[in-house]
Amino acid sequence: MRGAGTFRKVEEFEKRFGMKGCCIAGGALYKGVAKYIGMDVIEVRGATGGFDTDLHAKAEAVRRALEAYDFVFVHVKAMDSAGHDGDVGRRAEMVRRIDEMAGMLAENDAVFAITGDHSTPPTKRGHSFEPVPFLVSNVQARKYGAGKFCEVECARGELGRFNGDKVMKILRAYSGWTKKYGS
């Protein structure tokens, strides 16, 4: 077993963020973490966690889930796997497919984000220290600075560089879930 730790009670997602959340993933690890923090797991036919995963089916599942949930976490493992394999071509194909999936989701008024939990450059065939790009968008979003979705351009965007513990705060703000201050 890799990375095993000890069990500790954590605050459930809905209690911590005030949003009802669910998870769409092919891999058992991501489903397990979602359950651990109190999210529902939505099983999607064709969501394999591999390169053959059906991103169209995942996008359709997101659309349906947004009728009942405030937050939907979608995991695509194949980007990381292509990095570990050193397969630049497969990585580029996954970027294209994820972009297509994002286009399907951009048609509604939901706020969505695309990011990673770590960098896995194909040249290193493993995890690295580099920051990950972070894109947050919806139909009303304005374009700020970043001309394309990559680490360098995203660092030039409105959000700049930030730690991962700020992700939910940023998403809540873009979604209108933050408290209003002042008059």
Per residue in 22-32, is it b (16+ CB within 10 Å) or e — as a string? bbbbbbeebbe
Taking 90 as the threshold, does the pLDDT of residue 32 lie above it?
Answer: yes
Instruction: Pick the more confident residue, 63 or 138.
Output: 63
CATH number at residue 75: 3.40.720.10
Write the pLDDT tens digit of every residue in 160-175: 788 889 999 988 888 8
- 72 within some domain: yes
**137 phi, psi to nearest 5 deg:** -155, 160
Structural domain for 143, as ranges? 13-175
Q: Which residues contact 19 (CB under 8 A, 6 or more apart)?
A: 13, 70, 71, 172, 177
- 36 within some domain: yes
**pTM confidence score:** 0.86
Query: In this predicted structure, what is the pLDDT of residue 136?
Result: 82
Taking 60 as the threshold, does the pLDDT of residue 183 lie above it?
Answer: no
- 4 within some domain: no
Q: How far apart are CA 140 and CA 175, in angstroms?
A: 11
- 181 within some domain: no
The strand pairing partners of 73, in sequence order, are: 23
- 163 within some domain: yes
Which residue in 120, 136, 131 sits closest to 155, CA to CA?
Answer: 131
Instruction: Pick the more confident residue, 152 or 28.
Output: 28
Look-up of token digits 């000890």: 6
Taking 60 as the threshold, does the pLDDT of residue 146 lie above it?
Answer: no
Kindly state the average pLDDT of the residues 140-164: 69
Query: In this predicted structure, what is the pLDDT of residue 140?
Result: 58
Write the pLDDT tens digit of every residue in 43-63: 999 999 999 999 999 999 999
Query: In this predicted structure, what is the pLDDT of residue 45?
Result: 97
- 156 within some domain: yes
Task: Provide the number of structural domains found in the chain.
Answer: 1
